[in-house]
Structures are given as structure tokens and as C-alpha cells.
Amino acid sequence: MNVKVDPQSPVIVGVGQVNASYPAGEPTTLMAEALSLAASQKVLDAIDELDIVAIGSRAYSNPGHLVAATLGLTVDRVGYTTHGGHSPQMLVNRAAWHVFTGKRDIVAIAGAESWRTRRLLKRAETASGWTVQSADQQPDELIGRELSMATDVEARVGFGDPLDAYPMLESAIRAEAGRTIDEQNDVIARLWSAFSDVAAENPYAAIRRRVTAQDILSPADGNRLISHPYRKLAVSNNDVDQAAAIIVTSYGRALSLGYSADDLVFVHGFGEAVDCDSFTARASYTSSRAIQAAAMDALAMSRVSMDDIALVDVYSCFPSAVQIGARALNLKLSGDLTVTGGLTFGGGPWNNYVTHAIATMVTALRDRPEDLGMCTANGGLLTKHAIGIYGARPPASPIIEPRVRQCDTQLPVTDVLHGPATILASTVRYARDDVAQHGFVVAETAEGVRILARTDEWNLLAELEANDVVGLTAIVRGTSLVDFAERSPSLAPATR
């Protein structure tokens, strides 16, 4: 590297990933292992900030303290994020800025889940022996705003689970494209099969086998219905024991620690934005202005265009998220949209997937020094977004301070409706025996007012399952879907 590089340019010097077998250690143990893989003890001893991604499988009050103690580190500052899948990229953006401005010297970012081990220990009625922290052991900083999964109005009808929301997005995407249910299922299955091909080559993936499109659609091998139209092999796989870690410092500091320039991956640019907090009130169920805005900022900071991006990892909790992300970035649907295999096959460790995506991207870019890579991150119900651009060559311009763009246009919502409304999105949720439990629709009145309505009636659930109801007129009483003003045209029933 012969060009002159700003010594304060933020770089990633090390990454580590763990995909553990049952019985795995607790999350803090796995994070310590990932950090040990990411850097030597000499580098770890020099860390002055350790930031931990929010953990779902253990209720620690300050997991960073436990990680530091496991590694024998004395860290000036320990942070812990609120929940949200955007958090890892947000932490890298933040660390890059703090390093660039000299506020921090070396920042470590880590996250882990031991959800599979927790589940199996509970099934065996075996105590985990995991650490219990008292509530007075708090991090130095809680990073990020609390993530709201539902408004009070939505929560009153039992809404707020991603397993209800993202399949509803899928129904809107299908309707806009003019596809039948079976045609859309084929799009989903082919995309996810291509993702499994990538995971098969990823040594840290949770599921390292190629899955065919027919496998994605088939009920065989426990591939049960989750939420219409998704089966288990089309949704995020949180049943994992995984950890990942990233070490961020400045270019000058990295060289002083003995790293070669060829070891380093630069943070070229980043962007953050939020969509509407209310799922019912969001302007579109098929697109995201916030992803576009975050990408625009990241590209502008990097002084490149999407044509310059060779590798991408689009957040992939559900097929609808990938389709909307790809649309925002003007990318074609294919296995090229992931470097890990995605949250189903690479593994979806709750808030921490993107730490794995960035770690995998860094490893890939070291082998492709002329290329740039982009990682996208998503928190909530397609709500919070963060994007980063990385490359082994120095950036064309300095980074700037992270900002969060507000793209949260909210349409009017009512919590009570007695009358007709046009359906914009729908889904059905299933119990473990494939029996439909409940269904949701978002509908809009002639005056442009939204309503989220629920049904538990078997005949209406059957209609939501078998036919594309988007565009039909729902009859709503209060917050209950009670009927349709007309039945959908004759369509082939969706395959169960």
C-alpha cells in the first residue's frame, strides 16, 4: 500500500466467530472465545472500550464486565445495546467515529447467543450453571433507543411479533408483483435455496447443507408452517449457539501493534435511518425509504455508487426483508445477496447476526483487496436500519459523524372501525401442529385511515390461507375482521 493514509482512518484489525456444539458455554463465555480468535492477548489488553450487542438467551445486567473478567482485561468503558438487529452495524459506525476523532483507541464489539443449549438444558431439566448478575452491575452506557415492536393500539390485538409482521409484508409484495400465492412461494423458495448454497461454504454457518427449492416448500423433515406463507426453512433460525467479535482501531495504531497493511479492512462509509415505528401506519409494505436513505449516506461518504460494490449482505430475517432491501439497493434477487447464507442457514442469533455478517465480509475482503463490500442491518419490524461499506484499500475521503435519518412518514390510524376497508396485507399464524391460530390484516378506509384487524375464526383463516385477499374489501367490527364484502377470484389453493 503505497498511498498516503490518514493514520486516524478507522480499520477492522480482527474478527472472530464461534459456532459451538451442544452443550455450549453461556453467551459471555462464547464472546470471550470469539474475541480471543479476533486478536492476540496483547491487542485485547489494549482495548479501552468493549461494546456488547443485546443478548436474548440470558438476562445479564452487564455482560461486558463478565467478558472482560473472563479474558483478564481492564477496560475503561463497557457498553450494552438495546435490542435490535441493526445494533452491530450501529456499533461499528459509532466505534469508527470515536476512533477517527481520537475519543477511543481500540474498540471491541461482541455478541453471542446460547439459545440452543438453553433450550435443550431446559428440556432435560438440567440447571445451566450460567452466571447470575445482580441488577446493580450496570454497564457504563446503554447504547441505543429502546426498540418498540408495537404501538399500544397494535399490542391490544396481540400484534408485535416479527412472525406476524414480515409475512404480511410478503403478501403485499406478492400482490404488487401480480403473482399468485404459489408463484410467490416459488420466488421465495428459489431465493432461499440459493442462500443455502452460500451457507454450505461458510465454515461458521449453523446449517451447512444445500437445501433445494422443493425442500423450502415441503412439509417434510419438520419443516412446519410458521406464518403464511412461510415454513420453518424460510424464517430466521435463532436456535443456535454462536458468537462473533470485531476489533476496531485506527490505521496508525494498527501498524504500531504490529499489523501489516494487508491485514486491515477500512471502514469506508456508513448510514443509519428509521422507518415508521408503527407497522400499521407505515407508508409502504413493499419498500423502505429508510434503507434507501441509509445506503445513500453510506455511498456518499465512501464516494462510490452501488456499481462499485462487489459483495453485499442484505439483512435476511425473512424473505420479505431481503426483497425490500434488494429493491431499495436496486439489486437482483439471488444468492449474491448474502456472504453468510443468511439468518436461516448462516444462523440468526437474535440481535447479533450482523456481527457475523461483518466478520464474514472482512474475511472475504482480505482475499479480494480491490473490492468493496456492503452490509445492511435491520431492527424491529423493518424499522431501524444501518449500513456499512468496507474495503481493504484506503477510502477516498474521511468518514463523518454518524447521523440517523428520520424517514418515518406515518399515515392516520384508527383503533376502532365499523365498516369496510381495503386489505393491504395479511397473514395467518400457525401452532406447532400446523393448525391456524389467528390471522391479521392491515386495511385502509376510503378516507385513507388504516386499521389493524385480527381474526381467530376458522372460516376466515381458511380464506386468508387459500386465496390472495390483498385488494379485497374487509368488513371490520372494532378491531376484528368479521367478513369480506366479496370473495376472491378462483385461485388454486396454496400448498399446505
What pLDDT does residue 1 have? 54
Give 228-257 pLDDT, tens digit per residue. 999 999 999 999 999 999 999 999 999 999
Mean pLDDT of the chain: 96
Q: pLDDT band for position 490 (50/70/90)?
A: very low
- Specify if 221 maps to a domain: no
**For residue 327, how many C-alpha atoms fall within 13 Å in the half-sphere facing its CB?**
16
pLDDT at 492 > cutoff 60: no
- 401 and 292 in a common domain: yes
E strand residue ranges, 252-308: 265-274
- Specify if 293 maps to a domain: yes
Report the CATH number at residue 32: 3.40.47.10
- 437 and 376 in a common domain: no
- 460 and 369 in a common domain: no
Domain hosting 402: range is 10-127+246-406
Q: Is the peptide bond before 489 cis (omega within 30 degrees of 0)?
A: no
pLDDT at 117 > cutoff 70: yes
- 393 and 269 in a common domain: yes
Report the CATH number at residue 469: 2.40.50.840
DSSP 57-90: SS--S-HHHHHHHHHT---SEEEEE-S-TTHHHH
Q: What percent of the chain has pLDDT over 90?
A: 95
What pLDDT does residue 494 have? 42
What pLDDT does residue 406 have? 95
Measured CA to CA, the distance from residue 446 to residue 452 in angstroms comes to: 15
Among the candidates 375, 406, 437, a domain finishes at: 406
- 395 and 254 in a common domain: yes
Among the candidates 347, 378, 406, a domain finishes at: 406
The whole-model pTM stands at: 0.97
Measured CA to CA, the distance from residue 484 to residue 24 in angstroms comes to: 50
Structural domain tally of the chain?
Answer: 2
Among the candidates 406, 431, 458, a domain finishes at: 406
Give 47-92 pLDDT, tens digit per residue. 999 999 999 999 999 999 999 999 999 999 999 999 999 999 999 9
Q: pLDDT band for position 409 (50/70/90)?
A: confident
Measured CA to CA, the distance from residue 478 to residue 60 in angstroms comes to: 41
pLDDT at 482 > cutoff 80: yes
What pLDDT does residue 201 have? 98
- 445 and 372 in a common domain: no
- 399 and 329 in a common domain: yes
Q: Are 417 and 445 in contact (CB under 8 A)?
A: yes
- Specify if 155 maps to a domain: no
